[in-house]
Amino acid sequence: MKKGMISPSLMCLDLMNAEAGVRELEKAGADYLHVDIMDNHFVPNITLSADFVRALRTVTKVPLDIHLMIEKPENSLQAFADCSERDIVCIHYEATVHIERALQEVKKLGCKAGIALNPGTPLCVLEDLIPDIDMVLIMTVNPGFAGQKLVPATLDKISRCRTMLQKLSPDRDILIEADGNVSFENAKKMRKCGADIFVAGSSSLFGKDGTLAENYRKLKQAIR
């Protein structure tokens, strides 16, 4: 099993002090920085932006985990043209009718390509896309807002996704990311089901019962 990795959700930062927050996450040991970009169409919210990503690149070298929750993401990818091979750009299966073409456009950026699935989207849609992806993001809540409850069936979905990837692509290291209500307890379950990357937000890393450093260590312990 691959090492469990933590990708802190930057939508949980104090944006008035974002650089200081990023420095604290670097010090804690963040493997990625998760950037949620929403358009108020695909999901009913507006969060971070391509301008925020550009600003991030001036202050950190931690790889970025860019989650595009926007309609027709292929029309907006040039805003991320400076992505590196260490970064991940993840688009939603449900967000475009030309998903394979969109994934190819992501690959042209020179980064890893991820595909995200909402809780109600079946895994079978991945079968013909396996050659085009480096990561599957399993939404364990319905996308759009922090602080939601886990959709229980998504734990089994992570397990089934791991089995599918092992069967259809045994020679490739395709990652599984869990996003939504990644609490300390849920993270343990997600890890056992086969998740590799954990999007850490208000349910764990940014919780008020401990400092960020304490919460990071606790979450890291949960996913070992």
Residues 109-142 have pLDDT tens digits of 999 999 999 999 999 999 999 999 999 999 999 9
User: What count of other Cβ atoms lies within 10 Å of the Cβ of residue 191?
Assistant: 18
Strands (E) across the chain are located at 5-8, 33-38, 64-69, 88-92, 112-117, 135-139, 175-179, 197-200
Please give the residue range of the domain that contains residue 209.
5-222
* Tally of domains within the chain: 1
DSSP assignment string, 48-92: --HHHHHHHHTT--SPEEEEEESSSGGGTGGGGTT--TT-EEEEE
Q: Which residue in 81, 169, 84, 89 sits closest to 129, CA to CA?
A: 169
Average pLDDT, the chain: 96
Residues acting as catalytic residues: 36, 179
- Cα 72 to its chain centre, rounded Å, is 18
Task: Give 71's pLDDT tier (boundaries 50, 70, 90).
Answer: very high
The CATH number linked to 27 is: 3.20.20.70
Predicted pLDDT of residue 59: 96
Q: Which residue in 110, 103, 107, 13 sits closest to 60, CA to CA?
A: 13
pTM listed for this prediction: 0.96
